Amino acid sequence: MSAFDYLDVYRHYLVRFEENFGNLEFDEIVQHRGQLIQKLRYDEFVVKFSEFKKIEEYLREVMSKGATLNDEINRTYRELSYNVLETPKDFLAL
């Protein structure tokens, strides 16, 4: 993903964050789906979003092979999805 693509995704993230939680400062913490999260700066967002997408790709591959899902990976994936305000996919339903 290019820097331009990340910038576009980050802009959408900021809009969703403000719609859900108002205009908060970067260090303020809110509760989202039972998790404490904070508004991410661009560089923090890129790291978390990249990790989120890598785990999502890994989970898709694992489930397409009919393998079992690791609980820890699934938990990490859900936490990352909440942090970047993305809806986690249900890989058990694939």
Which one, of 39, 47, 41, lies nearest residue 1 by Cα?
Answer: 47
Apex CA 19: angle with CA 13 and CA 23, to 5°?
90
Q: In terms of pTM, does the model score above 0.85?
A: no
Q: Are 89 and 56 in contact (CB under 8 A)?
A: yes
Domains contained in the chain, number: 1
Model confidence band, residue 84 (pLDDT cutoffs 50, 70, 90): very high
Tell me the two tokens of residue 38.
């904070």
Which pLDDT tens digit goes with each residue over 27-74? 889 998 888 999 999 999 999 999 999 999 988 888 888 777 777 888
Could you tell me the end-to-end alpha-carbon distance of the chain, in angstroms, rounded to an integer?
Answer: 25
Distance CA 46, CA 5 (A): 10
Range of the domain at 73: 3-93
